[in-house]
Amino acid sequence: MNKKPMIIDCHGHYTTAPIALEDWRNRQVAAINNPSAMPKASELKISDDELRESIEKNQLRLMRERGSDLTIFSPRASFMAHHIGDFKISSAWASVCNELCYRISKLYPDNFIGAAMLPQSPGVDTATCIPELEKCIKEYGYVGINLNPDPSGGHWTAPPLSDRYWFPIYEKMVEYDIPAMIHVSTSCNPCFHTTGAHYLNADTTAFMQCLTADLFKDFPTLRFIIPHGGGAVPYHWGRFRGLAQGLKKPLLKDHLLNNIFFDTCVYHQPGIDLLNTVIPVKNVLFASEMVGAVRGIDPETGHYFDDTKRYIEASKILSDDDRFQIYEGNARRVFPRLDAALKAKGK
């Protein structure tokens, strides 16, 4: 493989948004029991210069330093907080967050492209998410969505991903040929630390829900990305293979790996190497979750934990062709709308 790959990061969140966004959200939450004080979307004032400052000093600076080209960019995951308020609250919040990411993609079209936050709310028909999903795909040019399998915030009151409850979203995913990153939000359950437990538990739980069901018989072209390296999945692959066998399911490579993909948000070399040993390269997408849950410098390496490109480059088990697939090829295949957008730009 002689072609230099485009480095596409499939897992980026707008974690550095101007403080005005958080202030607006705090006003919204404070007004849940006082509707007359509810802020309007028009009251959120953030200039393009403020957006540029928030990006150029943070995500874009690090992308340039680390040599990545394009980030699939979505609202901050821990800010989704679907358990707060009702659908109306979630709808307004998703709308303002998605619009900000869209504005970033317009300011930096070569560096960012959007993935939508959905206005989920516990116990509410998921069909209510469709208008925001369609707006983001049709008007904003977004290429995917984030789907929270636990809108209750760590209490897991929603049915499993195989349940018909989720089908309205899946039907639109198939119609628009978009994938979903299965990504929870903040945990309000003190038993589960948000980024150290809830995220990774949810990744593992989502995979197991798919393993025990026949969801992909109903939706053979449905595509899920399980972030953070798939939680426990690649590291207990024998357990999951054995469970599938005990449940009389097909081999996992036949049962799930046509539809489920894993990203590289695994912040140490042995983890990346194990991921790429166990999981076929065709199912691994480059990602960093940059300026996200893990922001510090690793004292063992002297580099940032989330500089995941270093781990891919240092891997002794990956060929140049493997790296091309992880960096670019798989993202184009899993995100067809991204591929179309890049081809339209001659990339």
pLDDT over threshold 60, residue 168: yes
> pTM for the whole thing?
0.95
Q: Give the separation between CA 64 and CA 52, rounded to whole angstroms.
A: 15
What pLDDT band is residue 102 in, cutting at 50, 70 and 90? Answer: very high
Distance of CA 274 to the CA centre of its chain: 21
- Burial of 146 (C-beta count, 10 Å sphere; 0-12/13-18/19+): buried
- The secondary element (H helix, E strand) that includes residue 136 is helix 130-138
List the catalytic residue out of 99, 132, 289, 328. 289
Q: What is the β-pairing status of strands 224-226 and 260-263?
A: parallel
Residue 82 and residue 121 in contact, taking contact as beta carbons nearer than 8 Å: yes
Q: How confident is the model at residue 307, as a pLDDT? A: 94
Least confidently predicted of 91-100, 205-214, 288-297? 288-297
Alpha helices in 148-234 (DSSP H): 167-176, 199-211, 215-218
Residue 30: strand, helix, or coil: helix
| Strands of 284-285's sheet in order across | 8-14, 70-75, 112-117, 144-147, 180-182, 224-226, 260-263, 284-285
In the predicted model, what is the mean pLDDT of residues 236-257? 91
Q: How confident is the model at residue 3, as a pLDDT? A: 77
Q: How confident is the model at residue 2, as a pLDDT? A: 60
Q: Give the separation between CA 35 and CA 43, rounded to whole angstroms.
A: 15
Residue 123 and residue 95 in contact, taking contact as beta carbons nearer than 8 Å: no
φ/ψ of 52, rounded to 5, equals -60, -45
Q: What is the pLDDT of residues 56-92, one digit of tens each?
A: 999 999 999 999 999 999 999 999 999 999 999 999 9
φ/ψ of 13, rounded to 5, equals -125, 150
Annotated catalytic, 300?
A: no
